Structures are given as C-alpha cells and as structure tokens.
Amino acid sequence: MTPSLGTVVVTGAAGRIGTIVREALRNEARQLVLIDRDPLTPQSPTERVICLDLANLDAVVSAFEGADVVIHLAGVPDEAPLANLLNGNVLGTFHVLEAARRQRVGRVVLASSNRVTGFYPVGKVVDPDDPVRPDGFYGVSKVAIEALGRLYADKFALSVVCLRIGSVEDSPDEARYLATWLSPRDCAGFIRAASTAPAVSFVTAYAVSANTRRFWSLDAGINLGYTPVDNAEDHAAHVPGAEEHVDSRAPQGGAYTNADYSLKHI
C-alpha cells in the first residue's frame, strides 16, 4: 500500500490503543514515531521508537520534529489522585500541544474519554455539544485536555480532534459494554479519520462502535469520515447480564459514578 500519511507520532504507543494504532498505520505512514516511557522495538523500516517522559517539554519538542500528525494516547488511564491526573493527563497534554505548535504539526488527535459525560442517564443520547458531566476525577482531567485542545485551536490555529473513546476490547464481556464497546477495527477507523479529515479547526467526537444500545451520537465521527461497522449486539448472547432491565435514569458511567470509586483516591 502506498503510504497516505506523512510522519505520524504516537504517544503512549506501548498501550492497548497505541498497539492498535501502530498496527493499523504501520503501512500507511511514511514514518511512524512511537513514543512511550516503556522501551519499544521497531517492527518495520518505517518505525522509529523514542523512550521519553512527556513531563520533559524540550524532549517532546525534539521528538515532534518533522511530524505531520500527532496522536496523543499517553496518560493516566483511570481514576487516580487528582494531582497524578493533573500531572499525567493535563500537563502531559499541554506539553504535546505546545510541542505541536512549536513544530507546526498539521493535526493533533487527543484521546479523550466517554467518561466526561458519565453522569448523563442511559436513556439520553449524548452529543459532544451537550455540557460535560464527568463521572470522576479522571473524567475531569479529560474535560481539561479537551479545553486545552480548544484553546490551542482557537488561539494558535492548531488543528485538533478530540475523540471520546469508548470501551476498547476485542469483544464486549460485560453488560455496560453492549452500549460503550469500541472494537479494535472501529478504533483504528476513527483514529485514521481523525488524523486525515480535511479542513478541521476543532472537533470533538465520540468513538464508539455502531452498538444498538449505544447512548452517544455518532454524527461527529461520521462527519470526520468514519462510520463504524461493528455492533456489540452481535455478542450479546455471550455477555452476562445482557437481558437484565436497565433503568433509563441510571447513569451512563455505571460503577464509575459511585462515590467510593473516587473517594478512595482522596
């Protein structure tokens, strides 16, 4: 395949989503620059690996030299003390955006989360334009990175796409995932579209598979150029609790909205 992308930088490349992106874009990018704190080994002539901590702004600026697209996946992945989330997610994203500005990167894709709206009821289909309702400190940190992305788009004309990523699993294995599942194939599709969609200033979109039970709008992602193809309902027969009634007033974040889920990190 002839590469359709230029130089693509992926932060958090050793993680679950980073691995999916690496495999999907390896043959499409002229060069794939893989950044992580954990060591990685190049698996093709197009790959280059850099071991660094995003806390080091100068190192991030250097790593982004020549980048056409930055896909920012690194960060604290779940509920944690707020100080850790501010340092790992918010400050890290600031360094990514600032390095992208200095290096004149054409597009930055930020990994946000569905948990920025976890307190909406399951009976409502949420659109990215709806006010945020984070379900914990992790969700708050993702609200902040979306705000940083918006600031860099408005103030510095950086092209930014925020993807509110669903539950990335090979297949759904719990009842909530019947609504929130994002298949690896659809994950790659959304990130590819976010990286290549033309004429983007700032966009926020939910990245979720075409699940029958989903409670997030697909419109913004489709407008970026990707329509998901997988549906968690195809796996429902094998998911425990799939047939149990769900109160339409229950929060979309499920267990993440419980007070104890956050209190243990205070």
Pairing of strands 47-51, 69-72: unpaired
How far apart are the C-alpha atoms of 159 and 165, rounded to whole Å?
19
Which position has the token pair 């974040």? 253
End-to-end CA separation in angstroms for the chain: 50
What phi and psi values does residue 148 have, to the nearest 5 degrees? -65, -45
Q: Where are the alpha helices (DSSP H) in 119-246?
A: 137-156, 177-180, 184-196, 219-224
Catalytic residue among 138, 152, 206, 226: 138
138 assigned to active site: yes
Q: How far apart are CA 93 and CA 73, in angstroms?
A: 9
φ and ψ at 20, to 5 degrees? Answer: -60, -45
Output phi, psi for 46, to 5 deg.
-85, -10
| CA–CA dist 160, 70 (Å, integer) | 10
Q: Name the residue with tokens 């796996």.
A: 235
Check: CB of residue 163 under 8 Å from CB of residue 145.
no
Active site (catalytic) residues:
138
